[in-house]
Amino acid sequence: EAAVTQSPRNKVAVTGGKVTLSCNQTNNHNNMYWYRQDTGHGLRLIHYSYGAGSTEKGDIPDGYKASRPSQENFSLILELATPSQTSVYFCASGDRFSGNTLYFGEGSRLIVV
Amino acid sequence: GDSVTQTEGQVALSEEDFLTIHCNYSASGYPALFWYVQYPGEGPQFLFRASRDKEKGSSRGFEATYDKGTTSFHLRKASVQESDSAVYYCALGMSNYNVLYFGSGTKLTVEP
């Protein structure tokens, strides 16, 4: 069974603070993704990675950094969190061998106060 | 840029009703098209995909046909059940399908 796990599942952060969202996949997929989900906007791509050591900008990368230290792990980093980054964040993995079927984690709900 | 448009933000039906959720796309090339479903408290799940014109994708009674002429991939189901209540996302993938772009989602509520 494909598995993508995210941590933390829930987080309250203060404005200006640093937040790290972590993602681990056991699918051995090359590609990993971070999306945010907001009402009216659906799922928007923040950053993605083709493999360990690589990160690419998605559609809305401003205010976010990403890190892919290994095949299994992909982190999303908010260096200076702002209330506009309050959202639900989803990590996913996939690759062309899976027909790019994306396997999503259960989401991380972030509230920035 | 490449994008997907879902016109219905919310759809409310009764059990055994016919479902249509509209999805239109805009792409510079020849994308693959996908439908994903998200149940409350979970991440989105792959439903099915189609990769070429006139190809039909289907799963769990849902189906959609890739129509290059009208740039559409509308989701249909003949008889919905309460358990189908969820958010449905249309998505497209370009190049090696390495990146998927999602629509804004359609929340389906089915009353018993």
Q: Are strands A10-13 and A108-112 parallel, antiparallel or unpaired?
A: parallel
What are the structure tokens assigned to A65, written together? 């950094």
Per-residue pLDDT averaged across B71-94, rounded? 96
CA A2 to each of CA A95, B82, B95: distance values in angstroms, whole numbers, following the listed order: 13, 27, 24
What are the structure tokens assigned to A35, written together? 């999306």
φ, ψ of residue B66 in degrees (nearest 5): -70, 120
**C-beta atoms of A44 and B93 within 8 A:** no
**C-beta atoms of A43 and B44 within 8 A:** yes
Test mutation, A43, A46, A96, chain B, max B CBs within 10 A: A43
* pLDDT tens digits, B27-71: 988 889 999 999 999 999 999 999 999 999 999 999 999 999 999
- Beta-bridge partners for B72: B24, B67
**In order along chain A (113 residues), what is the average pLDDT of each group of 10 residues?**
88 98 95 93 94 94 98 97 98 81 94 98
Q: Would you call B29 an interface residue with chain A, using a CB distance cutoff of 8 Å?
A: no
Answer whether B82's CB lies under 8 Å from B111's CB.
yes
Measured between CA atoms, the residue of chain A closest to residue B40 is A106
Rounded to the nearest angstrom, the minimum Cα separation between A80 and chain B is 26
Residue A41, Cβ neighbours under 10 Å: how many? 14
**C-beta atoms of A42 and B93 within 8 A:** no
* pLDDT tens digits, B84-107: 999 999 999 876 557 889 999 999
d(CA A18, CA B110): 41
What are the structure tokens assigned to A92, written together? 């996913």
Q: Between chain A and chain B, how many beta carbons pairs sit less than 8 Å apart? A: 58
CA B37 to each of CA A29, A51, A63, B103: distance values in angstroms, whole numbers, following the listed order: 21, 27, 28, 12
Closest CA to B49 of A99, A36, A3: A99
Q: Which of B89, B93, B105 sits opposite A100 (nearest CB)?
A: B93
Q: Which of residues 39-78 of A touch B (CB under 8 A)?
A: 40-45, 48, 50, 58-59
SS3 of residue A21 by DSSP: strand
